[in-house]
Amino acid sequence: MATVQSPGTGSEYRTAQPEQFRQISRSSTLLQSDEQDQVPKSFIEPEDYRELVLLDEFLKLHVRQDAIRNVQCMLLWTEWVRLFQRTTRRFPRVILENELRAIITRMMAVDIAHDTMRGPVYCGLRFVP
């Protein structure tokens, strides 16, 4: 189990992250990365690769930067699972809640804040249905 520090929040959460997932999530987009960060496709199972492709599509279609809005972390997690289950008829295996948070905070360069009414929120993002 690896301890992951969420940037800007000061809170830690524990999650199991295989090395190849950490390399993929470090890149600016999930599927297009520098040659040094690329993971050989032989290490990623086709189902896991499909999950990464679906997440990339989800983020491009439904998550936008917005300087005046915040979106609940749980809302994005729920919508990601809903889209994934409609598409594949199963629950995500690779990108669980903590992995989604790590990807969003790194890729979108946003912090997670605690709103007293809504709980954890991504600062500067909005969800587009």
**Digit-coded pLDDT (tens) for 57-103:** 999 999 999 989 999 999 999 999 999 999 999 999 999 999 999 99
Exposed / middle / buried, residue 71 (Cβ in 10 Å: 0-12, 13-18, 19+): buried
Residue 42: band (very low, low, confident or very high) from pLDDT cuts 50, 70, 90: low
Residue 22: band (very low, low, confident or very high) from pLDDT cuts 50, 70, 90: very low
Could you give the 3-state DSSP secondary structure of residue 123? strand
Does this model's pTM top 0.75? no
- For the record, the structure tokens of 33 come out as 């990365």
Domain count, the chain: 1
Residue 40: band (very low, low, confident or very high) from pLDDT cuts 50, 70, 90: low
Tell me, what amino acid is at 110? V
Q: What is the mean pLDDT of residues 19-46?
A: 53
Structural domain containing residue 36: 2-127
In whole angstroms, give the CA distance from residue 66 to residue 88: 30
